[in-house]
Structure 1
Amino acid sequence: MIINTAMTAGGSREPGSRLKEFLMRYTPVALALSLLAAVTGSMGSARVSETIDPRAQALLADGRAQLARGESDAATDSFEAALAVDPGYVETYLALGDAARKAGLQGKAIHYYRDALNRDPNNLAAMAGEGGAMAEKGALEKARGTLSRLEGLCGKACPESQQLAAAIARGPGPRVVSAEAVKPKPVVEAN
């Protein structure tokens, strides 16, 4: 009996037993890993409804009214106050970016739009604003890259894509030059 058992242990197995053994060993591990992947993947897309502080909402409304009147400095002050009241609200960063663009500060506007994109990576208004500021600054290739990403998300017919395409078509705005960059030619006069 012992000899017979030893011979069958190393001998041939019934068909399909290796498959059964493989499935029995690795199925629990595969299920655990797939559950882990599903849970961590869904955590990134979970959103909490954003409720804005009423004081910040009032400051944003004041800032938008000031920006419509052309008072970009006063609007920036209102938007920064709203940011201090409610620092996580994405619309405040968008408003700050819009105010910076109107003031001709495209680099600062890009910074605010990127802050908004860090908080909400698929925010179409932030993408359009960042791309428009890049186009106004002269970084047309980066703006075109942003436009293609934006068109991939919402298509060519969405207002954000059309707004960015128009900004790219306008091209960069006039460059602001510092006084040190423009040196007057020395004039030699006889006394």
Structure 2
Amino acid sequence: MRITAISAAAALMLLSVSTSLMAQRPDDQIDPKSLALLQEGRAAKAAGNLDGAQDALETALAVDPRNREAFVVLAEIARVRGLPGKSIRLYREALALEPNDLVALRGQGEALVAKGATTKAKENLAKIKTICNGECSDSTALAASIAKGPPPTATAQAEPAKAAPAKP
């Protein structure tokens, strides 16, 4: 009697898991509404409306979180706003969906350079060169960014404070 109850429970579990797996869409089929919102976000970004672009892109990701291009455009907006840490995180999300995305690898590398992490940026450059089998425009752009180095910070540009005279 025990074996029948256990086997019935296992069969029910197997049936429910297989049914839920069959209902999922393949990864390459992104929701059309999400793609429309992505295009709306790109248009707003091109028009200079970064807030509107960010809203549309975040909505696109809410509709379909597998929209890798929305992560990339959001990361570009974060870089324009001077938020390299947020940009790195968004590029990481895009790379989690497609590890060989050259645009995301280059963008993340440039954001890493802006943050001062040139060693990690060089790792991205090595990945890009491996994917491209040598040089390509993405590897050239990232190499130039690494060579240029991180931007100077506001505190580094300020004049050093004058030391107070020593008291005898």
- Is the TM value for this pair above 0.5? yes
Q: CA RMSD of the aligned region, Å?
A: 2.1
Task: Report the Cα distance in structure 2 between the residues aligned to 1:57 and 1:132, rounded to whole angstroms.
Answer: 26
Which structure 1 residue ranges, 5 or more long, are not aligned?
1-47, 178-183, 186-191
Cα distance change, pair 75–173 in 1 and its aligned pair in 2 (3 A):
farther
Output aligned runs, 1:171-190, within 5 Å.
Answer: 171-175=149-153
1:60-114 deviation line (CA, Å, top 9, x unaligned): 1121122223332221111101101111121111111111111111100100111
Specify the alignment match of 2:31 in structure 1: 53
Cα distance change, pair 166–67 in 1 and its aligned pair in 2 (3 A):
farther
Specify the alignment match of 2:147 in structure 1: 169
Asked whether 1:74 is paired with 2:45, we answer no
Cα distance change, pair 161–87 in 1 and its aligned pair in 2 (3 A):
same
Aligned pair partner of 2:80 in 99, 102, 120: 102
After TM superposition, the structure 1 stretch with the greater mean CA deviation from structure 2, 100-109 or 135-144, is 135-144
Q: Which amino acid aligns with 2:136?
A: C
TM-score by length of 1: 0.62
Task: Report the Cα distance in structure 1 between the residues aligned to 2:143 and 2:112, rounded to whole angstroms.
Answer: 12
Asked whether 1:86 is paired with 2:44, we answer no
Aligned pair partner of 2:94 in 116, 137, 140: 116
Which one has a larger percent helix, Structure 1 or Structure 2? Answer: 2
Aligned length: 132
1:116-135 deviation line (CA, Å, top 9, x unaligned): 11122222221111111001
Task: Report the Cα distance in structure 1 between the residues aligned to 2:51 and 2:152, rounded to whole angstroms.
Answer: 21
**SS of 2:30 mapped into structure 1:** coil
Structure showing greater Rg: 1
Task: Report the Cα distance in structure 2 between the residues aligned to 1:72 and 1:156, rounded to whole angstroms.
Answer: 35
Cα distance change, pair 68–107 in 1 and its aligned pair in 2 (3 A):
same
Please state how far the C-alpha of 1:171 moved relative to its aligned partner. 1.9
